[in-house]
C-alpha cells in the first residue's frame, strides 16, 4: 500500500484511543475541565453505565460562543501558550485533546455560556464532525452531553467490562475527585439513583464515608505534613484495616489522580513490618508540590507523572505516613462480648492511660522515644497541644486520639503455657506472645545495628556446614555481600553447600544452619524493589527463625529481659510480620466483666 496521510477522522479516533478508554475516562476528562473552569458545583448524570449517556453540567466560567468550535477541535486549549508553559502547569488539562477525542467517538453536545454574553451557544459533534452553532438561553457554565459512546468504534465497545464494573469505575473516580476537592459540590446520578452527593463544605471524612462506609472512615488516620515546599494531606488506613490488593491506594498530585508506582512503594515501605504479608493499606493522599517539580506530560491520560527529585518526594511520603502509623498502633483489646477473640479498641476508649503512667517514671523513655520521630514531633507527650502550630506534621484521627505508640512499663507476673508472658501495666493486664515479642525485639535490634552500619558479628567455634537446595544456593551466592553486611560469614564449601563461620552476635546460641536457611527462602520480587527493602525482609525473616518459640520455657530472668526489650521497641505492638505481640485486658474491661462497673 502506498503511504497516505490519515484522514482527520481516523487520526482523531486513534488519538481518542489513548485518552478515552471507557466511560470513566470521559467522566474524568470532563470533570477535569469543569474543575479547570473554576466550577463550584458539578453534576454528573450517567445512563447505562455511561454507554448511553454521560452528562456533566458545571457552573464554571463557560466557553465564549465564538470559541466553541475551537474548543472541540484537536490541539485547542486555553491553558497553554508556549512550550515552556508545559513545565509549570497548574491546570488539570493542557493537551487540548479531550473534547476533540470524545467528540470523535460519540454524539456530543456542548452547551455553554460565559457571564459576558446574554445567551449561550450550543454545538453538536457527531463522530468528529461538528454541526452548526445555535444560540440557546442558558445559565452561565457548561453542560456537556455525551451520547452513544463508541457507537462508531464497535471494537472499543467489545472491550468494555460489565455495566457493574464500568459503573463502579465511574463511582470510584467521582468519589475520589470529590475527596480531592472537598470544597466543591459534586453530584453523581446513575439513572434515577443519586449515588454520591457532597456538600462542598470541606468535610473530607464525610466523603470518605461515602467511599468506604462510616466504620472505615472513622478509623482512617488523617495525615497533614509539610516540608520544604511539599505538602501531604489525606488519609491512610491503620494497620488493622487492610485490603488484599493495591486498588485502594489513591494518590493525587496537585489535584490530579495519578497511578504512581513510586508513591505506592513509598507508602508500602511506611507500613513495612506493620502489615501481614499480602495485605495492603487503603489511602487517599493528596500531594501538593511546586508544578515545576513535576512533569505531568508523560502519559496520554496524564495518569503518570515524573518528579524532578523523586528520592525526596518518596522519602517525604514515606516518613509522613510512617509517623502517622507509629503515632497510632493500638494494642489489640479483648472485646467484652467476645472473649477469646481480639479486636481493636474502639476509638473513644483509645485513651491515653498508660501514657501518664509511663512518664511518671524516671525511665529514660521520653528521650528514647523521641529520637525516632525527631524534634517537634506532635505525637510525643508534650507535643500534642502544639500539634496545630507545628510546621512539621500532624495527625488527627477524627475523634480518635493517637495512642502513645510505646507500651507502658510492665511488671512481669509470669509465663503461662510456656508460650505467653503475663504482665501488669498501669492500665490492666497484658498477655504477651513470647515468640512474636521476641521477633520484634530481635528485628529492631538488628535493624538498629544495620542502620548504624555495624552489625556485630561473632565467630563460631566450630563452623557449621549447611546444604541447601540448588535454587536457594544460587540466591544465596548472589546475596553474599548482604549476608556479610548482616554479620554472617558464609563461604561456598562445595556444590550447594556452605560453611557458616560467623553470625550476628545477636543470634549467638541459636542454630546457624536455621538462620542461613531462613535467609534464602523465596523472595516476593515485586514487593522488594530496593536493596534496603530486601535487607529488611531478610532481617525480619531471620529474626522470626531465631526468636524463642511458643512452648519454650523461659527463666524469670529471660522473661523479664524480653519485656524490658519490648518496652524499648519503636513498634512494640506487632511483630515484624504484622501479627500482634500482645493482648491487653484493660482495668476498665476487668471491672465491667466482674460487674464492678455498669456494663455498657
Binding interface with ligand ADP (CB under 6 A): 29, 33-34, 37, 58, 60-63, 71, 76-79, 93-100, 142
CB of 293 to ligand ADP, least distance (A): 21
Residue 232 to residues 210, 288, 319, 373, 584: CA-CA distances in angstroms? 22, 6, 11, 17, 33
For residue 501, which of 458, 555, 455 has the smallest C-alpha distance?
Answer: 458
Nearest approach, Cβ of residue 47 and ligand ADP (Å):
20
Looking at the chain, the number of H-run helices and the number of E-run strands are: 19, 26
Burial, 98: exposed, middle or buried (Cβ in 10 Å; 0-12, 13-18, 19+)? buried
Beta carbon nearer to ligand ADP, 113 or 545: 113
Judged by beta carbon, residue 75 or residue 596, the one nearer ligand ADP is 75
Shortest Cβ distance from residue 27 to Mg ion (Å)? 12
Report the residue number, 78 or 472, with the smaller CB distance to Mg ion.
78
Q: Do residues 136 and 121 make contact, with C-beta atoms less than 8 angstroms apart?
A: yes
Which of ligand ADP, Mg ion, none does 79 bind, CB closer than 5 to 8 A by kind? ligand ADP
- Report 9-48 residues binding Mg ion (CB under 5 A): 33
Cβ nearer to Mg ion, comparing 20 with 98: 98
Q: Which does 71 bind (CB under 5 to 8 A by kind): ligand ADP, Mg ion, none?
A: ligand ADP
373 contact choice in Mg ion, ligand ADP, none (CB below 5 to 8 Å, kind-dependent):
none
Q: Looking at beta carbons, which residue is closest to ligand ADP?
A: 93
With CB under 5 A, what is the number of residues at the site for Mg ion? 3
Pick 70 or 528: Cβ nearer ligand ADP? 70
Does residue 419 bind Mg ion (CB under 5 A)? no
Measured from the CB atom, the residue of 93 and 504 that comes closer to ligand ADP is 93
Coil vs helix vs strand at 394: strand
CB of 123 to ligand ADP, least distance (A): 11
Q: Which of 383, 402, 233 is nearest to 316 (CA)?
A: 233
Partner from ligand ADP, Mg ion, none contacting 76, C-beta within 5 to 8 A by type: ligand ADP
| Residue 99 vs 188, nearer CB to Mg ion | 99
Nearest to 402 by CA among 411, 393, 410: 393
Q: How many residues does the chain have?
A: 600
Q: Is 93 in the site for Mg ion (CB under 5 A)?
A: yes
Alpha-carbon dihedral of residues 342, 347, 353, 358, nearest 10 degrees? Answer: 80
Tell me the residue number closest to Mg ion, measured at CB: 93
Q: Which does 96 bind (CB under 5 to 8 A by kind): ligand ADP, Mg ion, none?
A: ligand ADP
171 binds, among ligand ADP, Mg ion, none (CB under 5 to 8 A by kind): none
DSSP 82-145: SGGGGGG--SS--SS-HHHHHHHTSEEEEEEE-TT-SSEEEEEEETTEE---EEE---SEEEEE
Strand 497-504: give its sheet, edge to edge: 457-467, 497-504, 489-494
Q: Among residues 106 and 233, whose Cβ is nearest to Mg ion? A: 106
Q: How many CB atoms lie within 10 A of CB 362?
A: 7
CA distance 331 to 334: 10
What's the rounded Cα separation, in Å, for the pair 186 and 199? Answer: 7
- CB of residue 365 to ligand ADP, shortest distance in Å: 55
Q: Which residues bind Mg ion (CB under 5 A)?
A: 33, 93, 98
Amino acid at each position: 500500500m502506498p503511504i497516505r496521510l490519515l484522514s482527520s477522522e481516523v487520526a482523531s479516533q486513534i488519538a481518542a484511543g489513548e485518552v478515552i478508554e471507557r466511560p470513566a475516562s470521559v467522566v474524568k476528562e470532563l470533570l477535569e475541565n469543569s474543575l479547570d473552569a473554576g466550577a463550584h458545583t458539578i453534576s454528573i448524570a450517567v445512563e447505562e453505565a455511561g454507554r448511553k449517556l454521560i452528562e456533566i453540567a458545571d457552573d464554571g466560567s463557560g466557553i465564549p460562543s465564538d470559541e466553541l468550535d475551537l474548543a472541540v477541535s484537536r490541539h485547542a486549549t486555553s491553558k497553554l501558550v508556549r512550550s515552556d508553559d508545559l513545565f509549570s502547569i497548574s491546570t488539570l488539562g493542557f493537551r487540548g485533546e479531550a473534547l476533540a477525542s470524545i467528540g470523535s467517538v460519540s454524539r456530543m453536545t456542548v452547551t455553554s455560556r460565559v457571564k459576558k454574553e446574554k445567551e449561550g451557544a450550543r454545538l453538536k459533534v457527531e463522530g468528529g464532525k461538528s454541526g452548526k452553532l445555535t444560540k440557546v438561553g442558558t445559565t452561565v457554565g457548561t453542560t456537556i452531553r455525551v451520547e452513544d459512546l463508541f457507537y462508531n468504534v464497535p471494537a472499543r465497545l467489545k472491550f468494555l467490562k460489565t455495566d457493574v464494573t464500568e459503573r463502579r469505575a465511574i463511582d470510584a473516580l467521582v468519589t475520589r475527585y470529590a475527596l480531592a476537592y472537598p470544597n466543591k459540590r459534586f453530584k453523581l446520578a446513575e439513572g434515577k439513583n443519586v449515588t454520591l452527593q457532597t456538600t462542598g463544605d470541606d468535610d473530607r471524612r464525610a466523603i470518605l464515608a461515602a467511599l468506604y462506609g462510616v466504620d472505615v472512615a472513622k478509623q482512617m488516620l488523617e495525615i497533614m505534613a509539610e516540608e520544604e515546599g511539599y505538602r501531604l494531606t489525606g488519609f491512610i488506613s491503620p494497620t488493622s484495616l487492610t485490603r488484599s490488593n493495591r486498588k485502594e491506594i489513591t494518590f493525587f498530585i496537585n489535584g490530579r489522580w495519578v497511578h504512581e508506582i513510586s508513591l505506592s512503594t513509598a507508602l508500602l515501605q511506611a507500613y513495612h513490618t506493620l502489615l501481614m504479608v499480602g495485605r495492603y493499606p487503603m489511602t487517599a493522599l493528596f500531594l501538593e508540590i511546586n508544578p515545576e517539580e513535576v512533569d505531568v506530560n508523560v502519559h496520554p491520560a496524564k495518569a503518570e507523572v515524573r518528579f524532578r527529585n523523586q528520592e525526596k518526594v518518596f522519602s517525604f511520603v514515606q516518613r509522613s505516613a510512617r509517623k502517622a502509623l507509629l503515632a497510632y498502633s493500638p494494642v489489640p483489646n479483648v472485646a467484652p462480648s467476645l472473649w477469646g477473640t481480639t479486636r481493636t479498641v474502639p476509638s473513644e476508649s483509645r485513651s491515653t492511660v498508660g501514657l501518664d503512667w509511663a512518664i511518671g517514671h524516671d525511665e529514660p523513655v521520653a528521650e528514647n522515644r523521641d529520637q525516632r520521630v525527631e524534634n517537634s514531633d506532635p505525637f510525643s507527650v508534650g507535643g500534642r497541644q502544639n500539634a496545630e502550630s507545628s510546621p512539621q506534621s500532624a495527625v488527627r484521627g477524627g475523634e480518635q486520639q493517637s495512642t502513645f505508640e510505646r507500651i507502658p512499663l510492665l511488671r512481669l507476673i509470669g509465663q503461662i503455657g510456656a508460650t505467653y508472658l503475663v504482665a501488669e501495666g498501669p492500665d490492666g493486664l497484658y498477655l504477651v506472645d513470647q515468640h512474636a515479642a521476641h521477633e520484634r525485639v530481635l528485628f529492631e535490634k538488628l535493624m538498629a545495628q544495620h542502620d548504624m552500619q555495624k552489625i556485630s558479628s561473632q565467630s563460631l567455634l566450630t563452623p557449621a556446614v549447611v546444604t541447601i537446595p540448588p535454587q536457594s544456593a544460587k540466591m544465596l551466592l548472589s546475596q553474599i555481600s548482604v549476608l556479610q553486611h548482616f554479620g554472617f560469614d558464609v563461604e561456598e564449601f562445595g556444590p550447594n553447600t556452605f560453611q557458616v563461620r560467623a553470625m550476628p552476635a545477636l543470634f549467638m546460641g541459636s542454630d546457624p544452619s536455621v538462620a542461613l536457611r531462613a535467609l534464602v527462602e523465596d523472595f516476593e520480587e515485586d514487593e522488594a524493589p530496593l536493596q534496603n527493602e530486601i535487607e529488611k525482609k531478610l532481617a525480619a525473616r531471620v529474626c522470626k527463625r531465631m526468636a524463642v518459640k511458643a512452648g519454650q520455657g523461659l527463666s524469670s530472668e529471660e522473661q523479664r529481659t524480653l519485656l524490658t526489650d519490648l518496652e524499648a521497641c519503636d513498634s512494640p505492638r506487632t511483630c515484624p510480620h504484622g501479627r500482634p505481640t500482645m493482648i491487653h485486658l484493660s482495668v476498665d474491661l476487668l471491672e465491667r466483666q466482674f460487674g464492678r462497673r455498669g456494663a455498657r
